[in-house]
Amino acid sequence: MARSRILILLSAICIVFMTLGIDSISSADVSNTSSSDKVKYVRCLFTTSYNYGLIRDIYTCEISGRLHITRRATSINRIDGYHMQGRKTNEVQAFKGDASIINYFPKDLDKQFPNLLVILLNLVQLKEIRQTDLKPFTDLRYLDLFENKIEYLEADLFKFNRRLEVIWLSNNKIKFIDDNVFQGLGIKSLYLAYNDCISKSVTDNPTSLMYFLDMIKISCGVKSKNAKYNPKDGESIDDDYDDTLLPEEKTANETEAIIQGLTAKLRTVEDEVAKLKKKREQAMIWLVQYDDENKKLKAEQNETQTKLATLEENLRKTEKTGVDFVNQLFGLRSDLNKQSESTNGIVIDLKNRINSDKETLKNMENDLSKIREQNFKLFEENRRLNQNYDSLKEGKEGRDVTFITVIVLMAVTLVGVVGFNFYKKIRVSPTIRKFNDFENATMKLVDDDHNATASVH
């Protein structure tokens, strides 16, 4: 059981090391490796918070921890770190390597970051910078090698970096600068303060920059017999430099002494001005960012206020519509109640009229029955008279009396029938018509009541 537990524990440890990678546990482990290592990896903190002159908010790899490169041709073969959402390694445009030890420019950096516009290696004890180091970065615009140990700038150093605009080489140990180092560049700012051969900086002033380049040729130009400089690994620049000067070099040295004497008093001021300009540039960048953020916030605030005003207006309209609807509802209910009361009164009145007409109709039927009985008696009397007439038609008097009697009876009968029909027309027909009108009016009121109730709901 104990052996199986040990095997399980060892398997878990192996899986963890296979997943994380032994060489990616921490940057401190890398820094402790032997100086003979030719391969390094870089752990990056990816951000867009840095601004470099005219270049703003570009995707930056800032070295996290300490990276040690103490031998030439040390390659960067892997990049670690967590990218910002939606970003990739090939989108990195700035490489920032402060607080590390990088004596020599890392090899194959372009394979990891092929689109660099900005390189910053400040305070990393960089001893040299060569054309081959910068050759892959043809779009490079900002190079900052502030406060390192560089002593020499070789010929055609920036031959493949024609888009360079800002170069920081202040606080190095530069003794020699080849004549054509800055030739053909569209430089806007060049910082060379606090170096061995010169201490001056120029920012955003083409005229001053032109004179500055001439001063560099005089103060830092290589004019010895042994002008070509190509130190071997580990050698110092003084090993190959010949102090024997040609005649024209003496004049150059005298001129240099005069220039240095004239410019010595200005160095401190110029350096301070350069620092202040850099701070002002950073402050302007911050101010622009603040203005942009302020404009965005104001726009969002205005948009929010507009939406709030629209919502309040809609709310007022909705409240007004609701009040009008409630008033209409109460009005409809009041009208409905009035119509119901009126309908009830009409119904009661019509019921009373119907009952009265029924009584009248019943009396008329009784009268009609009596008239029928009288008619029947008259017909019987007429039949009897006819019989008498047949028996008395031989006598003239009898005939005249019978004839007169028959005429009288017929007249009475006719008057009774006509009177009954007239009475029926006057009394019965209007009652029936009123009953029908009442029934129609009642149905109409019932329909109106139903429609009003439906509209209220």
C-alpha span between 212 and 218 (Å, rounded)? 10
* Predicted pLDDT of residue 392: 67
Radius of gyration of the chain from its Cα atoms, rounded to whole angstroms: 61
* 112 assigned to some structural domain: yes
| pLDDT value at 211 more than 80 | yes
Rounded average pLDDT over 105-128: 93
Residue 222 DSSP class: -
CA atoms within 13 A on the CB side of 19: 6
C-alpha span between 63 and 77 (Å, rounded)? 14
C-alpha span between 383 and 375 (Å, rounded)? 12
pLDDT confidence band for 177 (50 / 70 / 90): very high
Neighbours of 68 (CB within 10 A): 19
Contact predicate 137/116, CB 8 Å: yes
| pLDDT value at 137 more than 90 | yes
pLDDT confidence band for 9 (50 / 70 / 90): low
Same domain, 263 and 346: no
Same domain, 60 and 175: yes
- What's the CATH number where 144 sits? 3.80.10
Same domain, 95 and 214: yes
* 309 assigned to some structural domain: no
Residues 104, 105, 110: CA angle, nearest 5 degrees:
155
Same domain, 264 and 335: no
| pLDDT value at 39 more than 80 | no
**Residue carrying structure tokens 């001056």:** 200
* 294 assigned to some structural domain: no
Of 170, 159, 155, nearest in space to 137 by CA: 159
Which helix (H) or strand (E) is 411 found in, with range? Answer: helix 396-423
Top-confidence residue, 251 or 296: 296
Contact predicate 90/81, CB 8 Å: no
* Predicted pLDDT of residue 20: 40
* 450 assigned to some structural domain: yes
**Residue carrying structure tokens 């029926």:** 424
When mean pLDDT is compared across 10-14, 303-307, 310-314, 376-380, the lowest value belongs to 10-14
Domain final position from 241, 268, 295: 268
* Predicted pLDDT of residue 36: 40
Domain final position from 238, 268, 298: 268
| pLDDT value at 223 more than 80 | no
| pLDDT value at 169 more than 70 | yes
| pLDDT value at 134 more than 90 | yes
* Predicted pLDDT of residue 172: 95
Domain final position from 268, 289, 313: 268
At 439, list the tokens: 């029934």
Q: What is the mean pLDDT of the chain?
A: 76
pTM: 0.46
* 383 assigned to some structural domain: yes
* 393 assigned to some structural domain: yes
* Predicted pLDDT of residue 27: 35
Same domain, 239 and 340: no
Same domain, 263 and 381: no
Domain that holds residue 262: 38-268
Per-position DSSP letters for 112-131, written without gaps between them = H-TT-SEEE--SS------H
- φ and ψ at 338, to 5 degrees? -65, -45
Same domain, 340 and 235: no
Contact predicate 399/393, CB 8 Å: yes
Same domain, 238 and 332: no
pLDDT confidence band for 60 (50 / 70 / 90): very high
| Total tally of structural domains belonging to the chain | 2
End-to-end Cα, the chain, rounded Å: 80
* Predicted pLDDT of residue 147: 93
C-alpha span between 345 and 337 (Å, rounded)? 12
Same domain, 383 and 253: no
* Predicted pLDDT of residue 248: 46
| pLDDT value at 227 more than 50 | no
pLDDT confidence band for 225 (50 / 70 / 90): very low
For 350-395, the pLDDT digits (tens) are: 888 888 878 888 888 788 788 878 778 887 877 887 777 777 666 6
Of 442, 448, 436, nearest in space to 347 by CA: 442
Same domain, 216 and 348: no
Hey, is 23 helix, strand or coil?
Answer: helix
Same domain, 216 and 338: no
pLDDT confidence band for 245 (50 / 70 / 90): very low
| pLDDT value at 232 more than 60 | no
Top-confidence residue, 79 or 256: 79
* 9 assigned to some structural domain: no
Of 103, 164, 174, 165, nearest in space to 138 by CA: 164
Hey, is 194 helix, strand or coil?
Answer: coil
For 404-427, the pLDDT digits (tens) are: 777 877 787 777 777 766 666 665
Task: Report how far apart, in Å, the C-alpha atoms of 209 and of each of 50, 55, 143, 203, 395 are.
Answer: 27, 21, 17, 8, 173
CA atoms within 13 A on the CB side of 22: 3
Same domain, 128 and 254: yes
Residues in CB range of 281: below 8 A, 6 or more apart:
53
* 170 assigned to some structural domain: yes
* Predicted pLDDT of residue 204: 77
| pLDDT value at 308 more than 80 | yes
